[in-house]
Amino acid sequence: MVTDPIADFLTRIRNAQMAGHRIVEIPASNLKKRLTEILYDQGYILKYKFEDDNKQGLIKIALKYDPNTKQPAIQALERVSRPGLRQYAKPAEIKRVINGLGVAILSTSKGVLTDKQAKAENVGGEVLCHIY
């Protein structure tokens, strides 16, 4: 049983990249699907596919690597808010990740958004993770 599904999602991607895998499979949920869409929109992954088995469903993610150096596109995935210590931020308090080079993902009242989208919508929420 997984107590923190978001941390499990990030750890599966991190471990697959460290092992040099091209594809990683993750059990699906609506939150994980939205996180995957954000990763794709920000250019951190190549492709993704949502598969429906007769249970929970699966997310297949094709990881992105630099063709010359074979380094992964995602340098770091950090879980910010966790079950033991939730981290919330108001729109004015949302911090930039590496001076705007990275992305913070927030769970807001208007859905799961990036830090830039949340500031544009003027909403705050729980800071789920930082990606760069």
Quick one: pLDDT at residue 54?
84
What string of H, E and C letters represents the secondary structure of 73-114? CCCCEEECCECCECCEECHHHCCCCCCCCCEEEEEECCEEEE
Query: Across all residues in the chain, what is the average pLDDT?
Result: 94
Domain ranges of the chain: 5-63, 77-131
Quick one: pLDDT at residue 47?
95
Per-residue pLDDT, averaged over 48-68, amounts to 93
CATH of 77-131, picked from 3.30.1490.10, 3.30.70.100, 3.90.226.10, 2.60.40.420, is 3.30.1490.10
Q: Is residue 1 scored above 80 in pLDDT?
A: no
Q: Is residue 53 scored above 90 in pLDDT?
A: no
Quick one: pLDDT at residue 60?
97
Contacts of 11 (CB under 8 A, 6+ apart): none
Per-residue pLDDT, averaged over 100-106, amounts to 93
Structure confidence at residue 2 as a pLDDT band (50, 70, 90): confident
CATH of 5-63, picked from 3.30.1370.30, 3.40.50.300, 2.60.40.420, 3.10.20.30, is 3.30.1370.30
Q: Is residue 55 scored above 90 in pLDDT?
A: no
Quick one: pLDDT at residue 106?
96
Quick one: pLDDT at residue 114?
95
Quick one: pLDDT at residue 62?
97
* Per-residue CA distances from 54 to 35, 60, 74, 100 (Å): 22, 16, 31, 41
